[in-house]
Structure 1
Amino acid sequence: MKPTTATAALVLALTLAHHASIAAAAGPRVIIVGAGMSGISAGKRLSEAGITDLVILEATDHVGGRMHKQSFGGINVEVGANWVEGVNGAGRMNPIWPLVNSTLKLKNFRSDFDGLADNVYKENGGVYERAYVQKRLDRWGEVEEGGEKLSAKLRPSGQDDMSILAMQRLNDHLPNGPTSPVDMVLDYFKHDYEFAEPPRVTSLQNVVPLATFTDFGDDVYFVADQRGYEAVVYYLAGQYLKADKSGNIVDPRLQLNKVVTEISHSGGGVTVRTEDAKVYKADYVMVSTSVGVLQSDLIQFKPRLPTWKVLSIYQFDMAVYTKIFVKFPRKFWPQGKGREFFLYASSRRGYYGVWQEFEAQYPDANVLLVTVTDDESRRIEQQSDNQTKAEIVEVLRSMFPGEDVPDATDILVPRWWSDRFYRGTFSNWPIGVNRYEYDQLRAPVGRVYFTGEHTSEHYNGYVHGAYLSGIDSADILIKCAQKRMCKYHIPGKFD
C-alpha cells in the first residue's frame, strides 16, 4: 500500500531528524587540542579552507598558551614569550612582526645589547674593564665564525653533528669549557639565554647559523604593551571565531578549562575525553600541546602511538626558561643609554646572570627582570618565592656594594616546568637530529595530527615557529580531508 503524502512527509522528517542527531553525536569535524599560537593558527588555516566544523579544547582559562601576560607591580608583564625575534633583514619578513608593529600597533622596543661590555659586574661588586670584556666578546665572535664554517661542511643527515661546546673546543676556545666568571656569564648569555640549555647539549648544525636571524634579520623587539603579546593570538582567533567588542572570544567552538586526558583513534574517527568526563567525537584531531606534555602522561593515546612516533617525541628536549620579575620601592641600578642589559659574573654558572631594566618599557615601575634557565629554573621552582627573593637581593647587594639596595617588595616567578599543561617553555633540538626526526615529530598517526613550535623545522622555540607550524600541519590535514591525499611520506634520514 502506498503511503499517504502526510505519512511520507512524516517519514522524511523523522529520517532527517535521525540523520541530524547522528551528525550532532558525531561532533565537529576537527578537534584542536590547545589554544596557543599553533592551535589557533591551525584553526584559522582550516577555516580558510572551509573546515569550520571544529572545536578547540583548551586546558587553561585563557587563549595564548605560553604567550601570556600577568599583572605585576601595577603593570602587565609577559611571563612567557616577550620578543619578536628576527626583524629588519634584507630578505623575508618575520610573519609576526607586521601583526605586532602595524596591525595591532603593540608597544615594542628594539633591544640593544651593544653596551654589554660596559655592564658586566664582578661577583663582589664593581664592573670589569670594558677592554677586557670586549676582548672576550671579540673572541666569541671569532669562534662563532669558525662554527659557521664548520657547520656548513657537515652532512645534512646530522651524522656529523656535534655540540656547541665541541665546536668551541675545535676552535681552541676554552678547551675545558668556560671556567672564569666572565667567560661563564658570556657563554651563558650567548647560548643559554637564547636556547635555555647549555652548549654541551645544543646542536651546532641546528643553531649555527640560526635560521631565524639568517632569514628575517638580526634585530629583536621587546613587546611591552599592556594588552599583552597574547593580543596577537586573540587577533588571529578573531579572524574565524566570534569575538565581542573587547576582543574576547565568545564563540562556543572555543571551550576553556577542558583538560584532555585521552585520545582514542581508529580508521573511523577520533574520540577525545576530558577531565570533566566530557566526550567529543570528530573525524580528526589536531594536537598542539607542547612536546613536554607529549612526553608526560597527561594525555593517553588509545591505541598507543607507534614506537617510531614515541621515539621522535622523546628525542627532543623541553627546555626551561624562567623570567623572574622583581619590584623595588626605588631604583638603585644604573640607567640611560647602553644600560638596559647587564650581567652578573658569578663563579656559579647560570646563577642570576642576565638582567634587564625597564626605564623605557615600564617607566617608574621600579621593576627588574632576571632570567634563569635549565637546572637553575628547576631548582628555583621548588623553593619558596621568599627564598628566591632573598637570593636575588643578596646578588644585587653584591653587585652594587656602594648602593643602599632595599628589600624587594614583590616577586613573580613563573613555574613552567612544574605546570602540567606545559612542562617547560620551548623545545631545543638535540645533537644529531635533522629533517628526518622533525618529519617524524610532525607526522600524523592515522587521524591524529600534530603541531606546535617543536614541529617547526627551522624556527622551533620561537613565536613565528609556532605560528608557521600551525599552518603547515593544517595543510597536511586539509590534503587528507579534502583531497584524500592522506599518505605522509618521510624520506630516510640519509636520503
Structure 2
Amino acid sequence: MAIDYSYYDFEIAEPPRVTSLKNVLPNPTFVEYGDDEYFVCDKRGYSYIPKQLAKDFLKHENEIIIDPRLQLQKVVRHIEYSANGVRIETEDNSTFYSKYAILSVSLGVLKSRLITYQPDLPYWKIKTFYQFDMSIYTKIFLKFPYTFWLTGPGTEFFLYTDDSRGYYTYWQHLENEYPGSNIIFVTVTDDESRRIEQQSDEETKGEIMQVLRKLFGKDIPEPENILVPRWWKNRLHGGSYTNWPIGVSEADFDRMKAPVGPLYFTGEHTSSNFNGYVHGAYLAGIATAETLVDCIKYKKCKEITSNDLPWMNPNTTQVTNKTEQTCNGVCCKAIQQERESLRSFYIDTIDSLQHALTNKCKPS
C-alpha cells in the first residue's frame, strides 16, 4: 500500500479509486516539462516570482509594488452582476465597480459560502463546481536538535507502512541539501489531511513521534518545532488543488471556466492540461485574460447556451453580456430559492461526508 500511495496519492493528493487515471496518467506536466521536481529554496520566497511578473504592468519602486490598482488584504464577500457590470463588496466594507470581473479564487472557495452572488450563479455553474474535487496535500515539517535519520546519496526519501492508507507514509528530509538543518517532513493527503487538520499540533506531534520511534528507536529526541499547514480549514483556500475525478470530461473543464455574463473564471481548476499546478494557474490566467480581451475589444463574447448544456432546465435564469434573461419576464424567486437549496444541499452533504470520514477510528 505504501508503494501504491507513493505513485498516486503523493502526486495527485487523492487515491486511485476516485481519480480518472485515464486523464491524469501519464502526468501532462511531466510529459511537457520532464519529471524532475524541485523545492523553492530562494530566501526571497515563492512570492518573488509573481512580484517579478507583476512589475511588467504595475508601478514599483525598489522591488516594492506601489501601484494603487493592486488592492491586498481585501476579502471578497459579495458580488452583484448584470449586463451593466459588476459590483464587488469586501469584508472591510470596501466597494469596487467594473464592467467585467475575473474570479481567480480557488475551487474550495467557489464551493463554499464565503462569497455570495446576486443573482445566484446559474444551476449549471454550481453543478460544475461540485463535479470536481478540491484535494488536500499537507507537508508537516519537524525540526530536531540533531539528525538521527540516514543521510547521503539515496536517502532523501523513505516510506512507512501502516494498515491505514496514507498514515504518515511518505517521508523526506533536508539534510542532504542543507546540512545541519535537522529538518524532516512527512506528506499526508486526503482523509488523513482532514483528520489531522482537526486536531491539535500536539496530538499530531504525538502520532508522528510514535511512527518515528518505530522507525529509528525509542531514544530519538523530541522535535524543537513543528509546522502543520491547514489548507482545508483555511477559508481563503478550502484545500490545496484540484484533482481530475472519475466522470469529468474536457467539456466539464470548459464549463468550469465559462463566463457567466460579465464574470469570468480562472485558476488551476480551469486548466485541463495542468490542473493542480502553479503553471496551470498561470497559463489559465493568460488564457482567460485573452478571452476577455476578445470580448471587450472584438465583441467575441463567449456564452453558455442550452445547446452546450442539454440537461439544463430551460427556465433557469442566465445573465448574458447583453441582457438579463428572466423566466416569463418576471423575477423567479422560486428558481433563486431552488439554486440556494441546491448549493446548501451540496455543501451540507460534503460537510457530512467529511465529518464522517475525519471522525473514523484513528490507527493504533
Q: What TM-score bracket applies, with the shorter chain setting the length?
A: 0.7 to 0.9
Deviations 1:222-278 (A, max 9, x none): 222221122111111122112231x23222111111110111001011000011111
Q: In the alignment, which residue of structure 1 is the partner of 2:243?
A: 428
Q: In the alignment, which residue of structure 1 is the partner of 2:353?
A: none
Q: In the alignment, which residue of structure 2 is the partner of 1:224?
A: 41
Tell me, in whole angstroms, the C-alpha distance in 1 between the residues paired with 2:84 and 2:298.
17
1:383 counterpart letter in structure 2: Q
Q: In the alignment, which residue of structure 2 is the partner of 1:211?
A: 28
How far 1:279 moved relative to its partner?
1.0
Q: In the alignment, which residue of structure 1 is the partner of 2:174?
A: 358
How far 1:294 moved relative to its partner?
0.2
Q: In the alignment, which residue of structure 2 is the partner of 1:465?
A: 280
2:184 counterpart (347, 363, 368):
368
Contact map agreement 1:435 1:493 (CA 8 A) in 2? no
Contact map agreement 1:196 1:373 (CA 8 A) in 2? yes
Contact map agreement 2:151 2:176 (CA 8 A) in 1? no
Q: In the alignment, which residue of structure 2 is the partner of 1:291?
A: 107
2:4 counterpart letter in structure 1: D
Q: In the alignment, which residue of structure 2 is the partner of 1:411?
A: 226
Deviations 1:96-146 (A, max 9, x none): xxxxxxxxxxxxxxxxxxxxxxxxxxxxxxxxxxxxxxxxxxxxxxxxxxx
What residue ranges of structure 2 are gaps of 5+ in the alignment?
311-364
What residue ranges of structure 1 are gaps of 5+ in the alignment?
1-183
Q: In the alignment, which residue of structure 2 is the partner of 1:442?
A: 257
2:243 counterpart letter in structure 1: N
Q: Which has the larger Rg?
A: 1
Q: In the alignment, which residue of structure 2 is the partner of 1:191?
A: 8
1:227 counterpart letter in structure 2: R
Q: In the alignment, which residue of structure 1 is the partner of 2:163?
A: 347
Q: In the alignment, which residue of structure 2 is the partner of 1:305?
A: 121
1:440 counterpart letter in structure 2: R
Q: Secondary structure at the match of 1:200?
A: helix
Tell me, in whole angstroms, the C-alpha distance in 1 between the residues paired with 2:184 and 2:137.
16
Q: Secondary structure at the match of 2:60?
A: coil
How far 1:468 moved relative to its partner?
0.4
Deviations 1:151-199 (A, max 9, x none): xxxxxxxxxxxxxxxxxxxxxxxxxxxxxxxxx1111111110111111
1:476 aligns with 2:291: yes
Tell me, in whole angstroms, the C-alpha distance in 1 between the residues paired with 2:309 and 2:126.
17
Q: In the alignment, which residue of structure 2 is the partner of 1:148?
A: none
How far 1:487 moved relative to its partner?
2.6
Contact map agreement 1:270 1:281 (CA 8 A) in 2? yes
Tell me, in whole angstroms, the C-alpha distance in 2 between the residues paired with 1:209 and 1:473.
26
2:59 counterpart (233, 239, 242):
242
TM-score, scaled to structure 1: 0.61
Q: Secondary structure at the match of 2:17?
A: coil
Please tell me the root mean square deviation across aligned C-alpha atoms, in Å. 1.6
Higher relative contact order (CA 8 A, sep 6+): 1
2:237 counterpart letter in structure 1: Y
Of 339-348 and 317-326, deviating more is 339-348
TM-score, scaled to structure 2: 0.82
Give percent identity, aligned residues only. 54
1:397 counterpart (201, 206, 213):
213
Deviations 1:448-474 (A, max 9, x none): 000000000110001110110000111
